[in-house]
């Protein structure tokens, strides 16, 4: 018997060499998670109830089928480290450059990989996920899930106080392959990350409207951005097995989508509705800056407005704007820039 608060999560910030090789322990974080559930493993049996020849309609035998692994949410407050991890593993084309100084940060520049030029085709980098409860001789839970990938993420920025004003949730998938015991010794305590809150937004310009200064300053209420990789199921001849159950051997992205919605207060000079009517398009930039070693910028290369809808937010007249992010022929769809003290994110491990 154990309380769920004893659950320890860790995952690799380094990428696996391939989908079946776990990351090295040296590239595994121990981190907290707002999602209090463990990642469940769901082996599925099938039976012979539909087959004739038994003389009756009832099942007589069980057969091992496959690991039907549910998706799992890693939910955290925004931090430079977690943003770099999520963007690198969900988008795929990553550059990393070390800064200067005594404790140089690393700046990652990340864009969505394209199938025609990605060295791993339609597959993104894979990471390993460790979950433990009382690891050791009498472990309640001690396993490493191998071949995990980020299916989607949701970034939420709100006009509320504290860390909850900026959150990032990554929904992950895994193949069904695992090792137990994990063989991983997680660090003694969870690593402290360099977190952002909404007060640290230092640039917020969308489609020509600056929401931090000028006529539209102080009018921004909230923003939700999300990415979906829309993975195809990864069962195929040769995809592998675990305990006699079939597992998935790849996660290939399908039609990906990038959504952005935001809410602003309405005023006499609001430009959003005119931008929609006139089909104005332009870049959008949002930057968080905590200090010289911790910053995040999302550069949407070209954005128009699909819907602008009058609304009510806590008694204030607002407009909810749904953006449409356009692929720019030169600069692509979106570029994420993250500066963080954590080196080696999405590097071979």
The nearer residue to other proteins, 69 or 84, going by C-beta atoms, is 84
CB of 75 within 8 A of CB of 34?
yes
In the DSSP assignment, the letter for residue 177 is -
Note if the bond before 68 is cis, omega within 30 degrees.
no
Number of residues that bind other proteins (CB under 8 A): 42
The nearer residue to other proteins, 111 or 150, going by C-beta atoms, is 111
Site mask, other proteins, residues 37-76, x = CB under 8 A?
----------------------------------------
- In whole angstroms, the minimum distance from the beta carbon of 327 to other proteins comes to 9
Site mask, other proteins, residues 305-334, x = CB under 8 A?
-----------------------x-xxxx-
The distance from CA 123 to its chain's CA centroid, rounded to whole angstroms, is: 15
**77 token code pair:** 């407050």
- In whole angstroms, the minimum distance from the beta carbon of 238 to other proteins comes to 28
The nearer residue to other proteins, 10 or 14, going by C-beta atoms, is 14
Integer Cα distance of 264 and 207 in angstroms: 13
- In whole angstroms, the minimum distance from the beta carbon of 271 to other proteins comes to 24
The nearer residue to other proteins, 110 or 130, going by C-beta atoms, is 110
Site for other proteins in 81-110 (CB under 8 A): 93-100, 107, 109-110
Of 29-37, 195-203, 230-238, 269-277, the window that binds other proteins (rule: CB under 8 A) is 195-203
The nearer residue to other proteins, 94 or 166, going by C-beta atoms, is 94
The nearer residue to other proteins, 173 or 345, going by C-beta atoms, is 345
Going from the C-alpha of 347 to that of each of 41, 81, 123, the distances in angstroms are: 27, 14, 16
The distance from CA 56 to its chain's CA centroid, rounded to whole angstroms, is: 49
Residue 21 as a binder of other proteins (CB under 8 A): the answer is no
φ and ψ at residue 269, rounded to 5 degrees: -100, 20
The nearer residue to other proteins, 74 or 298, going by C-beta atoms, is 298
Residue 335 as a binder of other proteins (CB under 8 A): the answer is yes
Gyration radius (Cα) of the chain, Å = 23
CB of 14 within 8 A of CB of 24?
yes
Helix, strand, coil shares, percent, the chain, to 5 = 10, 45, 45
CB of 78 within 8 A of CB of 194?
no
Query: Sign (positive/negative) of CA torsion 84, 88, 89, 90?
Result: positive
Residue 210 as a binder of other proteins (CB under 8 A): the answer is no
Name the site residues for other proteins (rule: CB under 8 A): 93-100, 107, 109-111, 113-114, 116-119, 200, 202-203, 285, 287, 289-295, 297, 299, 301, 328, 330-333, 335, 337-339
């Amino acid at each position: 018997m154990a309380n769920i608060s004893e659950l320890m999560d860790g995952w690799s910030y380094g990428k696996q060499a391939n989908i079946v090789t776990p990351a090295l322990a040296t590239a595994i974080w121990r981190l907290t998670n707002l999602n209090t559930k463990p990642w469940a493993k769901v082996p599925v049996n099938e039976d012979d109830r539909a087959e004739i020849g038994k003389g009756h309609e009832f099942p007589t035998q069980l057969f091992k089928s496959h690991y039907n692994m549910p998706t799992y949410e890693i939910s955290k407050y925004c931090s430079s480290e977690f943003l770099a991890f999520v963007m690198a593993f969900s988008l795929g084309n990553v550059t990393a450059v070390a800064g200067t100084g005594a404790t140089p940060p690393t700046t990652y520049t990340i864009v969505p990989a394209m199938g025609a030029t990605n060295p791993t085709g339609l597959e993104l980098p894979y990471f390993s996920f460790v979950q433990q409860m009382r690891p050791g001789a009498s472990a309640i839970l001690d396993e490493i899930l191998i071949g995990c990938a980020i299916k989607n993420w949701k970034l939420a920025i709100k006009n509320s106080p504290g860390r909850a004003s900026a959150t990032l949730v990554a929904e992950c998938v895994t193949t069904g392959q695992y090792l137990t015991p994990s063989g991983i010794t997680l660090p003694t305590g969870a690593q402290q990350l360099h977190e952002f809150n909404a007060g640290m937004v230092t640039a917020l310009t969308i489609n020509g409207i600056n929401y931090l200064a000028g006529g539209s300053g102080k009018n921004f209420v909230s923003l939700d951005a999300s990415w979906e990789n829309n993975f195809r199921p990864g069962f195929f001849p040769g995809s592998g097995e675990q305990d006699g159950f079939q597992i998935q051997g790849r996660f290939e992205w399908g039609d990906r989508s990038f959504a952005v919605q935001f809410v602003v207060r309405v005023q006499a000079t609001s430009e959003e509705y005119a931008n929609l009517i006139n089909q104005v398009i332009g870049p959008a930039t949002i930057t968080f800056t905590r200090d010289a070693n911790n910053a995040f910028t999302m550069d949407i290369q070209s954005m128009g407005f699909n819907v602008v809808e009058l609304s009510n937010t806590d008694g204030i007249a607002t407009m909810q704007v749904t953006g449409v992010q356009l692929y720019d022929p030169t600069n692509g769809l979106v570029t994420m820039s993250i500066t963080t003290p954590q080196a080696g994110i999405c590097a071979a491990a």
